[in-house]
Structure 1
Amino acid sequence: MEKNKKIRESLQTIGFFAALVFLWQALYVLGTQVFALWKPYALPSPAGVWAVFWRLTADGSLLRAAGSSLARGFLGYVLAVLLGMTMGLLMNQFGFLRRNMRPLIMGVQTLPSICWVPFSILWFGLTEQAILFVVVMGSVFGLAVATDHAIRNVPLLYKKAALSMGVDKKQLYWKIIFPAALPELIAGLKQGWSFAWRALMSGEVMTTCIGLGQTLSTGRSLADMNQVMLVMAVIILIGIAIDRIVFGAVERWVYRKRPAQQER
């Protein structure tokens, strides 16, 4: 019964997206050929996007671009996690830093990632380091706030009970605070990845390094909206895949270890 339900849901999902593609193609035909509202090159179509997909796949450029972007995104994200969690721990540990740094960090994290591009180009030129700088700056502050917030939301009773049993500060963090804060930390890490992935595209668009952002920029320069739409779709699909495969696996592992967390 459960298997049949999943099959029906899968078929419904496929039918929904197939209907969207059909509607998109119909709007393209009506807008460019029947009513001549737009120029054919100004509006992407499913058929045009598919043709560009095969062209970029055949010469390997799409795969190279996606691989380069993933490598940069992963490296920048790891650096942002290390820096952001360190900042969050310091703010949680020292009241002076939290009172003075948290409002500043909250303000800075609202800046769009594109704001860091001029600094990155000026300091690092059109290089890989410039892109990594944008990725880190685009996600590190959100990760710092998320880390501080997750730790502060651990019930005070847990800490008092552990300290009353003679647990030292190092054990308190590793044995009590981090495990209790893990579900909220994972949510913050997911959000940090989304920030890093968006920041990566902002950095790549402004440089000449191989990547999805540079491929999108090339399509824009050539007025090839099908290529632009294809790259946008690939960016979205990679983001969904990372969320479902990587973070989904981590969340399922946490829920197996903490079944009560799943029920809430």
Structure 2
Amino acid sequence: MPQHETQLREDEAAVEAGLDALDTPAGTARGAARRDLLRQVLAPVVALVAIVGLWQFLWSRAIWPEFQLPAPLAVWDQIQTLIDSGQVWEFLWVSVHRAVIGFLISLAVATPLGLLLAKVRLFRAAFGPLISGLQSLPSVAWVPAAVLWFGLTDATIYTVVLLGAVPSIANGLVAGIDQIPPILPRVGKVLGAGRIDSARYILLPAALPGYLAGMKQGWAFSWRSLMAAELIATSPQLGFGLGQYLHNGMALSDMSMVMAGILLIFFVGVGIELLLFRPLERSVLRSRGLTGAH
């Protein structure tokens, strides 16, 4: 590259950097970082402390009997016992690996399904309302049918997870594709892109925000469907996950076990959201210039 062109590009970059510096007041970045820290870390901690404080207050007032509302410390002791014995890792492994496998299978099924719904009008007219109806159907409703179809096996668990997650992912992809400017597929067609290349290089990348929103909802449905299946379809041959632990707490009328199971299920779901989907969502938004989205 000629030297004068290199110098010209360096000057343009310097001008852009200067304009950005003018647009961004000094200290704004540090202030934004502090606000992010307060919002993302301290605010949830304060909310959690407030909830636990209210729980402790209600328990101390003995409004409900102990078997209905145990003390927060009793629930924590239950969780600590699971951690000390190592059982918690077994429960987490059984449930989380099922949820991940079910989610990945759902993703593989929902992606081509969503493309068909978005691009084939007759297919959408015929099956679109059915997919939306399946999305609104509670996943727990599929557990008795799946048990009768497959017995107390892993196939029952994964069937319930798929029927819960696939509609959400497919509808998210359809929503994302519907928002793509029509010019993009036309340009791809002019450049010689076939249907597969158009889907891979144009539709999926352009629809990524909506697709990602569908994946987030699909994961939530996967996790909820799995817990419903584990709660109802309990058997030693299925292993022992968080749902089975929660079921045992109910069978023993042990509210501390029940609350411990609920909290573990809750924190796994929130942890996956915070550690995986939220950073991925921010990365996608920033790559599209939507840096103001949090």
Normalising by structure 1, report the TM-score.
Answer: 0.90
In 2, Cα distance between equivalents of 1:27 and 1:251: 38
Matched position secondary structure for 2:193: coil
User: Structure 1 residues 13, 189: closer, same or farther in 2, change over 3 A?
Assistant: closer
1:251 alignment partner, one of 267, 275, 281: 281
Query: In structure 2, the residue corresponding to 1:139 is in which secondary structure?
Result: helix
Q: Report the CA distance between 1:103 and its aligned residue.
A: 1.0
1:184-230 Cα shifts (integer Å, max 9, x gaps):
11011001100111000000001233110000001111111111111
Secondary structure at the aligned position of 1:262 is classed as coil
**Aligned match of 1:29:** 60
Change (3 A) 1:172 1:5: closer
Letter in 2 for 1:262: T
State the AA in 2 paired with 1:251: E
Aligned: 1:169 with 2:200: no
Higher relative contact order (CA 8 A, sep 6+): 1
Alignment of 1:8-157 (within 5 A): 10-11=41-42, 13-31=44-62, 37-157=63-183
Gaps of 5+ in 2: 1-29
Question: Measured at CA, do residues 90 and 182 of structure 1 come closer, stay the same or move farther in structure 2, by a change above 3 Å?
Answer: same
Which residues of structure 1 form unaligned runs of 5+? 32-36
Q: Alignment partner for residue 158 of structure 1, among 184, 196, 200?
A: 184
Q: 1:262 aligned to 2:283?
A: no
Q: In the aligned structure 2, how far is the partner of 1:46 from the partner of 1:13?
A: 18
Conservation of the 8 A alpha-carbon contact between 1:42 and 1:223: no
One-letter amino acid of the counterpart of residue 188, structure 1 = G
Partner of 1:34: none
- Measured after TM superposition, the shift of residue 162 of structure 1 is 2.7
- Cα drift, residue 6 of structure 1: 5.6
Pick the structure with greater CA Rg: 2
Q: Which residue of 2 aligns with 1:205?
A: 231
Aligned to 2:18: none
In 2, the alpha carbon distance for the partners of 1:4 and 1:111 equals 42
Q: Which moved more, 1:91-100 or 1:209-218?
A: 91-100
Aligned AA (2:213): A
- Quote the Cα distance in structure 2 between the aligned partners of 1:166 and 1:127: 47
- Tell me if the contact between 1:113 and 1:138 (Cα under 8 Å) persists in the aligned partners: yes
* Matched letter for residue 98 of structure 2: R
Larger CA deviation: 63-72 vs 89-98 = 89-98
* TM-score, normalising length: structure 2: 0.81
Identity of matched residues, %: 34
Out of 228, 233, 249, the position equivalent to 2:263 is 233
- TM-aligned CA distance change 1:19 to 1:253, over 3 Å: closer
